[in-house]
Amino acid sequence: MKYANLHLHSTFSDSQLTPLQVVRIGKSLGYNALTLTDHETDGGLNDFFTACENEGLEYMAGIEFYGMEEGVNLHLTALDYDINDPGIRAFVKERCELMAECTRRCVERGIKLGFIHDFTWNDVLDVCDEGAWICIDHVIRAMKQKRVMPAADDGSVLRQNVFKGPEPKSFFPEHPTAEQVIKMIRKASGVAVLAHPYKGQTRFVERLVGYGLNGIEISHPDLQGNDAHLALQMADTFCLYRSGGTDHTGAMSGCGGVNAVPALQGITEEEFIILRERRLG
């Protein structure tokens, strides 16, 4: 059993579980330390921190960003950063606003095409907490609450016909460069981690280290076989902090389908302490 799970999501982005539920499930599974890394928002951290303290778990700040490198969309988690850093605060606000506008346009498209009925954008806002990164998962949850979508519906029809394709793709905001994201995280005194570096993404590590990358996930449901070996090799070669977690898989994800499988990834207590105490500099 791993000591710390440092890659998790909640209802503040694209999970079905609240920060409190994430913490309670994490404790029941045997984790001793957790980090919430919602997509482009840390709006759930206050609830998450309080829940961890009440359950006697260690924790640190977290958030998952996107960064482009040679046309590849890399996922970069910020760990243990200053949550009051002006750069982080401004960037999160901007990204949440852009994502909300994108999702609003998709909802209006769904209404126009006839896939969404008896439903408005305000119904989506009613289920969102302040600071949420509003995405299709909020739309589906709101539609189920208003009973304009069957409770058992996984939303696949809506995803395929309303949120995918050339037109909705044009609604989505452009991602910043990996260099911009990494430098912002480091300026906020955080650890910049390359998340789940699969499908050959470890080829970017040396360049990312030049930007300031100082961490890499070595344990994740998507890291199998050679990908897992290469991630460990990069951690050792470039003296990077080790991170990892279950992400959208397993009991802490609230997801069904292919993601509803046992998942207990994370890092050891020693690896967590090394990161927390910044023993690698």
CA pair distance 204, 71, nearest whole angstrom? 12
Instruction: Calculate helix-pair angle for 136-145, 86-113, nearest 10 degrees.
Output: 60
Q: How far is CA 85 from CA 75, 90, 110, 143, in A?
A: 21, 9, 38, 36
**pLDDT (tens digit per residue) in 156-187:** 999 999 999 999 999 998 999 999 999 999 99
Give the model confidence (pLDDT) of 224-245 as tens digits.
Answer: 999 999 999 999 999 999 999 9
pLDDT at 50: 98
Q: What are the C-alpha distances in Å from 28 to residues 32, 77, 236?
A: 10, 25, 32
The span from the CA of 37 to the CA of 21, in Å, is: 15
The pLDDT, as a whole number, for residue 45 is 98
List of residues 6+ apart from 166 with CB closer than 8 A:
none
Residue 127, pLDDT above cutoff 90: yes
**Euclidean distance between CA atoms 276 and 182, whole angstroms:** 18
Distance CA 253, CA 35 (A): 13
pLDDT per residue as tens digits for the range 1-52: 799 999 999 999 999 999 999 999 999 999 999 999 999 999 999 999 999 9
User: Which residues lie closer than 8 Å to 205 by C-beta, 6 or more apart?
Assistant: 194, 197, 213, 216, 234, 238
